[in-house]
A and B are shown apart, each in its own frame.
Chain A
Amino acid sequence: MVKRFFKDIIKAIYIAEKDLKIYFFKAPNLIFGIFLPVVLYLAYSLGRSVELTFIIPSLVAMAAFFGAGAIQSVSLPLERRTGTFKMLLAAPIKISTLIFGKILAGFFYGIILSLIYFAIMLPFSPLLNFYMFFLGILISSLLFSAFGLLLSVPFRDIPQAMPPATVVRIAMVFICGVFTPLESMPITLQTVAYLLPLTYSVDALHIAMNGPLNIQMFIIDLGVQILYFIVFLIIIIKVLKKIIE
């Protein structure tokens, strides 16, 4: 049982390694992942006075959000269109292992992009708790990788998958407190924001960077993200199994 579990983990890592190599670490995708958050932020904040301490956690959250999720929305539909997905199904691996491998790829990519942003911006701003901040990046990348896969799982080609995924992502960025603190938004939008996972990622990173160090709130933020991750994972597996059958 334990041996089989470790075999599954290793297979998931092989799938992640392959995905990183052929989908994620491509020059256009790297450029997209690095520049999109900063371009979006500049487009919104130019001409406004925004504190750097507010910008950094938001940018890191966006890097995880777009880095882990955007390319993820491409890999599964592409595999389904080219047929390589059938080759994966013909191998002795569980659907859950296959999905986990794909999520791992986005997870690693999200961490790398977030850390790039973090490393560039850290000298310009104080950091209250590095470990909490890093933990926030890990959980956010895991969640957003699964979210990216969830948005793509019903589709069997990129042109079908990308438009809805892009609309959902951009809308979330504007609602979830990335550009504007939640408190300054209307109550209705705040209610919607609390239903969306990005809100909790941004909040956790803000707590870790700027404080106040409300551990209870931080744990709630991480807990909600983990809960979302589990729900997304279950939905992805169920939908994919249904599609295959």
Chain B
Amino acid sequence: MTHIYTSENAIDVLNLTKYYGDLLAVDHINFNIRKAEIFGFLGPNGAGKTTTIHMLTGIIKPTSGSATISGFDVTHNPFKVKGLVGVVPEDSFLYEEMTAWDNILFTAKLHSIPKEKRLRLARELLEYFDLYERRKDRISTFSRGMKRRIMIASALIHEPKILFLDEPTAGLDVQSSRQIRDIIRDLNKNGTTVFLTTHYIEEADQLCNRIAIIKDGKIITIDTPKNLKTITQAKNLIEISFDRTKNIHNDLKMLDHVREVVILENKFRLYLEKPFLPLNFIFDFAKKNQLKILSINTLKPTLEDAFVKLTGLHTKDMAIEKEHIKRD
């Protein structure tokens, strides 16, 4: 029985839920992703990001709810869905003993791609990812960044319409991360819808058209990075540095309009009570205390601020948590 929906969206998710025994991993989430959109899924570890990807790509079945990929239900048409999506997991899930070429071709064979076509596509992809010269080398000799590129190439061998990337730049050096981000942008320009999970807030900010923030299996919010940032605008941050730092902290705290003061090395971050306050009171304070102002910045809210506000979890905690899990 074929369940085909006439959705214009690349992905439609309705009340999608997953239980592992008694553990509720994903809790009635709802969202849709437009065609050729880069959609970010942001959240701490154990929030349900990977489980959601596994459900959307037909790897595991949802406990309840539904999801459609280009109109095909993931539960009723998992084979069709698997043909429409490419999956790049967080870790290197390649056969280390096999060459780059054989790894890609093996994936192509499982997608029943005819021999001539799979040879042509494998060549094109390896050339595109700048790894054709290394095609006969075993994966075990590749760097992490190269492995990630081979994984993306494998995920693209059957020309999927939607690409799922789980933490695509986790653990990569700066250059490799930049390369991967460029590849994602490039693929998206060519019409590929991208579903991206990440715990790098900046990455989500740079790449995504829209972002969903998920915590404890529930989606807290979905919006554009720009709109999410406005959530924290009321914070009104000022960073200021003086020619000396001693005995100022408490005086700054006593100022009108200042809610909180945080010391950052040789700077003070002031959290103001109201937005758009004139900064005269700062200059008066400096004059009164015979301080020279070395720098003063009004800070724009970042996506990180929005994330922290919405989840109550600091991004540093996310990174530390991630590293612990990797080490385990």
Contacts and interface: CB of A to CB of B under 8 A. Distances in A.
Most A CB contacts (10 A, CB to CB) among B60, B78, B92, B110 go to B110
Contacts, number: 58
Contact of B79 (A14, A89, A92): A92
A180 B92 CA distance: 49
Interface string B32-53: 0000000000000000000000
B96 interface: yes
Nearest to B112: A7
A93 B60 contact: no
B95 interface: yes
Interface string A66-109: 00000000000000001110111111110000000000000000
Contact of B93 (A87, A92, A244): A87
Main secondary structure of the interface of A (DSSP, over half): helix
Which of B93, B94, B96 is packed against the most chain A CB atoms within 10 Å? B93
A11 interface: yes
Contact of A91 (B92, B97, B107): B107
Contacts of B79: 92
Contacts of B83: 92
Residue with the highest number of chain A CB atoms closer than 10 Å, among B91, B92, B112: B112
Contacts of A82: 93, 96
Nearest to B78: A92
Interface size class of B (residues with CB under 8 A): 20 to 34
B48 to A, nearest CB: 16
Nearest to B164: A90
A238 interface: no
Interface in B257-284: none
A155 B95 CA distance: 19
Given A11-B109, A82-B96, A90 B91 contact: no
Given A83-B92, A83-B93, A90 B98 contact: no
A21 B107 contact: no
B94 A93 contact: no
A134 B35 CA distance: 57
Interface in B140-190: 154
When A and B form their complex, which 3 residue pairs have the shortest distance between CB atoms, in order from nearest?
A91-B110, A83-B93, A92-B82
Interface of A: 7, 10-11, 14-15, 18, 21-22, 82-84, 86-93, 244-245
Given A86-B59, A87-B107, A91-B111, 11 more contacts: A10-B112, A11-B109, A14-B106, A14-B110, A18-B106, A83-B91, A83-B93, A87-B89, A90-B59, A92-B111, A244-B60
Interface of B: 57-61, 78-79, 82-83, 87, 89, 91-98, 106-107, 109-112, 154
